[in-house]
Structures are given as C-alpha cells and as structure tokens.
Chains A and B, each alone.
Chain A
Amino acid sequence: MAGKTIKILVGKPGLDGHDRGAKVVALALRDAGMEVIYTGLHRTLEQIVRAAVQEAVDVIGLSIMSGAHLPICRRLLELMASEGIGDIPVVVGGVIPKQDAGKLREMGIQGIFPGGTPFDQIVAGIESVAA
C-alpha cells in the first residue's frame, strides 16, 4: 500500500434507500485506514460529482441495489467526463448480476464488488485502482 491515505467518496445515487451495504462498507474502508466520505441517501449524480470535485477524492464508490446500475453508471461517467474528473476511478457494489459485470467494465467501471464480497477484496480492489 502506498504511503498516502486513500480518500474515497461512498455514494448512494438515485432513489434507492437500502443503505446497509453502503454503511457497512464505509465502516470497513475506514477501519482499513481510508478517509471515507459518505454522501447519505437520495443523491443525484450531479451532487455526487460535485462532492467528488470539492473533496478531491481519489476514488468514487457507488452502492446500487435497485438494478439500475447500468443507466446510473453510464450517466455518472458522462457527467464526470464533462466536469473534467473522468480520470477518477469508479467502483460499484450492490446487487450486480454477473451478466452485467462485463458491460460495466467496458463502460469504464474499474471495480465491481457484488454483495457478499469480503472486505479485504474490496479494500485491495480500491487500493489497486487508486494507485
């Protein structure tokens, strides 16, 4: 692990309120030594991008449980590109079917952590994309 502390924004985009996973992962990342900013619920993608710019985060992590991960990720990446932060890596967790993992990667999502992924894998995954 690099000497620098990784700063990650954990976001709950859209309308879904199932935030147990986001909160649990946020606590795990913090225990792993990262600086975690949790957006809270019902954030628009614009708000998430703005927060990422303001906080100058190293990584953006989204938690999506509703099944809307494809349209949400596509739109987020577009917004990030237009705000000039297209280089910040984005990772996604939640209810992500295997069938969609390839599509997310193609789109530019750098880490996919479906529900049940062990914390150490999530931490390692984020460290590798932040490096």
Chain B
Amino acid sequence: MGVARYIKDEKDAIREVVYQSGIRVKPSYSPRDLAEVGFDYARDLGDPGEYPFTRSLHPMGYRSRAWTTRQYTGFGTPEETNQRFKLMISHGQTGLNVAFDLPTQMGYDSDDPRVLGEVGRVGMAVGSLRDFEIAFRDIPLDRIGSGLTINAVACVMLAMYQAVAEKFGYPREKISATPQNDILKEMIGRGAWIFPVDPAVRLVGDAIEYAVKALPRCNPVSICGYHIRESGATPAQEIAYAFEIGKAYIEEVQRRGLAPDEFVGSFSFNLNVYGNLWEQVAKFRAARKLWARMLRDEYGVTQKKNLFLRGLFGGGGSGLTKAQPENNIMRGAFYALAAALSGAQTTALCSFDEAYTIPTPRAALLSLRTLELLMDEVGLRDTVDPLAGSYFVETLTKQMEDRILDEMGEVQKIGGMRRAVALGHIQRKVSRQAYEFERGLQNGDYIKVGVNKYTEGVEDQPDVELHAYDESWAEKQIDGLRELRRVRDRREVSRTLSALEQAARDGRNVMPLLVDCCRAYATVGEMAGVLRQVFGEWEEPSIF
C-alpha cells in the first residue's frame, strides 16, 4: 500500500511524519539541513547527464525525448494479443510489454495436466515459435522494443524472439527485447520460479552473456525491485535488494571472463512508483547515484553509459485499491507524476480495474492517456529534474541513500543475495512487513482513501466491467499445439532438444541451443522440461 505514517494531535494537526523507509520528515527545511547531511552539488548531484546522474541520465532530459510508454499487454491467444499490440501502437505506445500466461511462465504446454484453467488467462499462451509468428506479425521489430515479462524461462523467450525476428527478416543486431529474466526477485515475490537458485542464476547469466555477444540491442535482464516492493518491502529495501540482485548477476557473468564494462550497460531496472511522492522521488534520485557509484568504485566500470541506471519506473499495483476503484485513476496520475519528476525513461501504469481483473481496453487506454497527458499537457518536459536544489528533496535524497546502503549491508552480512534468498531471509522479512502494514491499515495507523477513510455512502463492491476470459482460447491453443506436433520435423526437434540437454549438463551456455530448438518448433514445455530434468526444481524455504 505504501503510505507514510502520520501521527496527529486531537485537532488533526500533524505531529510526526514517518516514511515507510523509516525516515522522519521535519515540518520545514532550510540550508542548515543540507549542511547537516553534508550536501555537495558536484559530489551529490552533478549537472544533468553527468556523474553521478542523480539529476538525469541525459543532459536535456525529457526535452530531447519524452519517456517511452510500455503498458503491460497480452492475453488469450497470440491472435488476440497481436490485435491488442496493434491497438496500443496505433494509440501512440512506443514499446510493447508482453504478458505471458502462467503455463508459459512456468514452462508448461497448454495441454499439460497442471495448467487447469490458466491457459491464456493472465497473458498470452505461447507454445512454440509459431505463436510468436502470430503475435508479432506486422510489428516493426527493428523499431518497437519489447519487454518480455518472463523469468524462469526468460532464456527460452529471448531465443524465441531472435528466432521470430530472423523469420521476419530483421537482423538480430537490430532487435530490441528486454526479457525480465530476474529469477531472484521471483523467489522473493511473484513466485514464478522453477529451478533451484544456482542453476536459475546460471540461466540468467547465460542470457546476459549471449546477448552481449549476439544481441547487442537487447537488454537481457530487467531487475525488478518492483515485485519485491509489491511483496512488502519498503522503498529503501526495494532499491537495496534490486542492487544486491544486480551484484549477484554481475558476479555470475564475471565468472565467465567478461568485465562488467562489457555487459552491465545492458542491465535495466523495473521499479515501483506508488506511495509517498517525495519518498519515491528521493528513492529514484538516490538510486541513480548509488548504482553509478557502485559500478564505478566496486566493479571498475569506466564507460559513462554503462553507469546509467536505466529502466521502467511505473506500475504502482499495490497502491491501487479494490474499494472505490475510480479513485485509482487519480492515484495512477499521481504515481506517474512521481515517475516524471524522477526522470523515468520508460514508464507504464497499472490500470484502475486491476484489483478486479486483467485491464479492459478502456482502462488500459486511460493509463496510456494519463502518461501522455503528463508529457504533453502539464509541463513535465519543460526542464530537467525540476525539484533539484529543494532543501527538503536534497536532504531526503541523502537520507534515502543512507537507508539503501544500510539495507544492502544487511544482505552482505548474510553472504549476498543468492544466499539470503536460498535461506528465505528476505522472503520472511518482507512477508512480515506486509502483514504488519496490512494490520496497520486495518487499525487506521495509515490512511488509505476509500478504504479506511471517506468510505461512507459508497457501494461496497461496485460493478466493474470485467475482462472477458474465453474458454475457447485454451481449446484453440491446444488444437494448434497438437497440429504443430504432427507437422513439424520430429527428428530435428529431438536432435535440438538433446543438444540442449547436453549443453545444460556440461555447463555450456544454453542460449544458442535454445535458438536452435525454437527454430525447430520445439515447444516451451519441451525445452523447459529438458532443463527441469537436468536442474531439478527449487524447494522453497519455509517462511514461518
């Protein structure tokens, strides 16, 4: 939910303000506060586009280019998804953000007995390259970038994206895909993991290593503080855990003999925007600075562009409420404002009806319009980092920096993020916080409009237009899959799958083999099945 705690007196005057990250806010700020936190313009901010990039990655900010909008889209069959992609592009969306259904995310085919009722439900069902050929038909893959929201089998989808681009005649050097590919965050929140920690991180590393060499415009990993925050982390923890995850991936790729300067520029982040406006702005500004400083000082990164914390700042799902859902339209606008004031490069917004359903087209379009309106109508493109120099914002940014470093130190004490996740340490901590926050909300310690304040006279559960789920999608997918299994070259499928198995066992990079499997129309379930056989499945540590 992400709101600050306000302690008030009997006349409703605010006595104390405590942000989620634990920072206490004073009634007013002055140059004395800046002196106290040791603020120094050159060291802490620098000009826009200059190290440490606190103010902006680019000297001209949104003047040179407005943000890229990437609403999360995809459902049902590849045909339906293709239509929705085209609709969003025709409305001005400049990148895609592909949602996959749960069977695909978990590496099962649509006809697997474990996928009961899930085919095409929360995203598009993908069985094989054939489905990508339909989903991306007539999409200019050399101009439109695609986020692929998939993690445990991200390597499979990245391989398939390359295969579909080749099929359509786009050179692999020109395509731009951002598979989410952040398995450690799946183990903390969101839960779409398959393999145990070590092989899972190895697959993340395979995708990064391969992309650096073969897919230069792809961003092979998008580190998601986002879902960790949704699971109950504070804004400071969101950044701290994301950075510790980033370090785990950097070290995985370093082991293969690559220097961070060769690959870390392809990393991107997916960070959350809900909650207190000032805390978010300070969080993003501190994060840009800390990431650059860490890469430079700890990993010897020297090239300027490789120090950039690039990414999508958006979403805000946990801030939205089921009660009085129209309020979420306003919430979304304010969350997007936080993203814009923070210099987000790419953004997307959860839709107002998402507490009920997959967004309807009307709701998805409203989110897109909200983002467009900020850029074109309200003045967010006027000047770079407009809050810079505010006594309050700069003090808070410094304080946020300290909080993030403290949280990172705690993970380091455990032995790094791989170990902290394997032990269930982070999971326990964020779940406990989520519970305490929820209890605080129910006790009225935190205010949520329409939930525990201003609730009178409003219908308890209003009627919301629901995204329709069509049972026939599953049948259609299954029919297509069976047809595919009949017509494809079976020998080529088993040859490529055995080669994949061998590479997985030998510890070689599986990516080139996965591309071969995709070209041969091996199914997602078959490819993931091979990896399951070799790697086994993760046993989740108990969080109680």
Given the known inter-chain contacts A14-B102, A15-B108, A67-B122, please indicate yes or no for A20 contacting B230, CB distance below 8 A: yes
Q: Could you tell me the distance between the alpha carbons of A70 and B466 in the complex, rounded to whole angstroms?
A: 15
- Asked if residues A41 and B540 are in contact (CB atoms below 8 Å), the reply is yes
- Asked if residues A27 and B322 are in contact (CB atoms below 8 Å), the reply is no
Q: Could you tell me the distance between the alpha carbons of A41 and B118 in the complex, rounded to whole angstroms?
A: 15
Q: Taking each of B106, B108, B321, B438, which has the highest tally of chain A beta carbons within 10 Å of its own beta carbon?
A: B438
Given the known inter-chain contacts A23-B435, A98-B461, please indicate yes or no for A15 contacting B466, CB distance below 8 A: no
- Asked if residues A23 and B434 are in contact (CB atoms below 8 Å), the reply is yes
Nearest-neighbour CB distance to chain A for B524, whole angstroms, equals 13
Residue from A26, A28, A67, A120 within 8 A of B469 (CB atoms): A67
Residue from A14, A19, A116 within 8 A of B323 (CB atoms): A116
Of all chain A residues, the one with the shortest Cβ separation from B358 is: A67
B543 within 8 A of A: yes
Of all chain B residues, the one with the shortest Cβ separation from A99 is: B466
Given the known inter-chain contacts A17-B192, A116-B451, please indicate yes or no for A66 contacting B122, CB distance below 8 A: yes
A-contact bits for B423-458, CB 8 A (1 contact / 0 none): 000000001101100110010000000010000000
B side interface size, CB within 8 A? 45
Given the known inter-chain contacts A118-B442, A119-B442, please indicate yes or no for A95 contacting B356, CB distance below 8 A: yes
Of residues 32 to 68 in A, which have CB atoms within 8 Å of B's CB atoms?
36, 38, 40-42, 44-45, 66-68
Hey, which chain B residues are within 8 Å of A71, CB to CB? 116-117
- Asked if residues B435 and A24 are in contact (CB atoms below 8 Å), the reply is yes
Nearest-neighbour CB distance to chain A for B270, whole angstroms, equals 16
Q: Taking each of B117, B358, B439, which has the highest tally of chain A beta carbons within 10 Å of its own beta carbon?
A: B117
B-contact bits for A3-28, CB 8 A (1 contact / 0 none): 00000000010111111100110111
B121 within 8 A of A: yes
- Asked if residues B544 and A66 are in contact (CB atoms below 8 Å), the reply is no
Of residues 453 to 481 in B, which have CB atoms within 8 Å of A's CB atoms?
461, 463-464, 466, 469
Q: Could you tell me the distance between the alpha carbons of A23 and B542 in the complex, rounded to whole angstroms?
A: 11
A97 within 8 A of B: yes
- Asked if residues A97 and B356 are in contact (CB atoms below 8 Å), the reply is yes
- Asked if residues B190 and A18 are in contact (CB atoms below 8 Å), the reply is yes
Of all chain A residues, the one with the shortest Cβ separation from B194 is: A42
- Asked if residues A75 and B116 are in contact (CB atoms below 8 Å), the reply is yes
Q: Could you tell me the distance between the alpha carbons of A14 and B121 in the complex, rounded to whole angstroms?
A: 13
Across the A-B interface, how many residue pairs have beta carbons closer than 8 Å?
Answer: 108
Residue from A23, A70, A120 within 8 A of B431 (CB atoms): A23
- Asked if residues B117 and A72 are in contact (CB atoms below 8 Å), the reply is yes
- Asked if residues A20 and B544 are in contact (CB atoms below 8 Å), the reply is no
Nearest-neighbour CB distance to chain B for A109, whole angstroms, equals 15
Given the known inter-chain contacts A15-B106, A42-B106, please indicate yes or no for A68 contacting B435, CB distance below 8 A: no
- Asked if residues B117 and A14 are in contact (CB atoms below 8 Å), the reply is yes
B142 within 8 A of A: no
Hey, which chain B residues are within 8 Å of A26, CB to CB? 544
- Asked if residues B540 and A66 are in contact (CB atoms below 8 Å), the reply is no
B351 within 8 A of A: no
- Asked if residues B434 and A66 are in contact (CB atoms below 8 Å), the reply is no
- Asked if residues B434 and A24 are in contact (CB atoms below 8 Å), the reply is yes
Nearest-neighbour CB distance to chain A for B2, whole angstroms, equals 13
* Chain B interface, >50% SS class: loop
- The contact size tier of chain A is 35 or more
- Asked if residues B102 and A97 are in contact (CB atoms below 8 Å), the reply is no
Of all chain A residues, the one with the shortest Cβ separation from B469 is: A67
Q: Could you tell me the distance between the alpha carbons of A27 and B322 in the complex, rounded to whole angstroms?
A: 22
Q: Could you tell me the distance between the alpha carbons of A15 and B102 in the complex, rounded to whole angstroms?
A: 6
Of all chain A residues, the one with the shortest Cβ separation from B107 is: A15
- Asked if residues B435 and A15 are in contact (CB atoms below 8 Å), the reply is no
A108 within 8 A of B: no
Q: Could you tell me the distance between the alpha carbons of A20 and B231 in the complex, rounded to whole angstroms?
A: 6
- Asked if residues B355 and A95 are in contact (CB atoms below 8 Å), the reply is yes
Hey, which chain B residues are within 8 Å of A114, CB to CB? 322, 461
A115 within 8 A of B: yes
B315 within 8 A of A: no
B115 within 8 A of A: yes
Nearest-neighbour CB distance to chain A for B414, whole angstroms, equals 20
Hey, which chain B residues are within 8 Å of A72, CB to CB? 116-117
Hey, which chain B residues are within 8 Å of A18, CB to CB? 189-191
- Asked if residues A27 and B431 are in contact (CB atoms below 8 Å), the reply is yes
Of residues 110 to 157 in B, which have CB atoms within 8 Å of A's CB atoms?
114-118, 121-122
Hey, which chain B residues are within 8 Å of A44, CB to CB? 114
Given the known inter-chain contacts A15-B108, A15-B118, A116-B323, please indicate yes or no for A20 contacting B356, CB distance below 8 A: no
Hey, which chain B residues are within 8 Å of A75, CB to CB? 116
B502 within 8 A of A: no
Hey, which chain A residues are within 8 Å of B118, CB to CB? 14-16, 66, 68
Hey, which chain B residues are within 8 Å of A15, CB to CB? 102-103, 105-106, 108, 114-115, 118, 192
Of all chain B residues, the one with the shortest Cβ separation from A98 is: B461
Hey, which chain B residues are within 8 Å of A68, CB to CB? 116-118, 121
- Asked if residues A20 and B117 are in contact (CB atoms below 8 Å), the reply is no
Given the known inter-chain contacts A38-B544, A40-B540, A66-B122, please indicate yes or no for A17 contacting B355, CB distance below 8 A: no
Closest 8 CB pairs of A and B: A17-B191, A71-B117, A68-B117, A15-B102, A27-B435, A23-B431, A24-B435, A98-B461
28 interchain pairs (CB within 8 A)?
A14-B116, A14-B117, A15-B102, A15-B105, A15-B106, A15-B118, A16-B122, A17-B190, A17-B191, A17-B192, A20-B189, A20-B431, A24-B435, A28-B438, A38-B542, A38-B543, A40-B540, A66-B118, A67-B121, A68-B117, A68-B118, A72-B116, A95-B356, A98-B461, A116-B323, A116-B355, A116-B451, A119-B438
A20-B230, A75-B116, A99-B466 given. 17 additional CB < 8 A pairs?
A14-B118, A16-B122, A17-B192, A19-B189, A20-B431, A20-B434, A23-B543, A24-B435, A66-B102, A66-B121, A66-B122, A67-B358, A68-B116, A72-B117, A95-B356, A98-B463, A118-B442
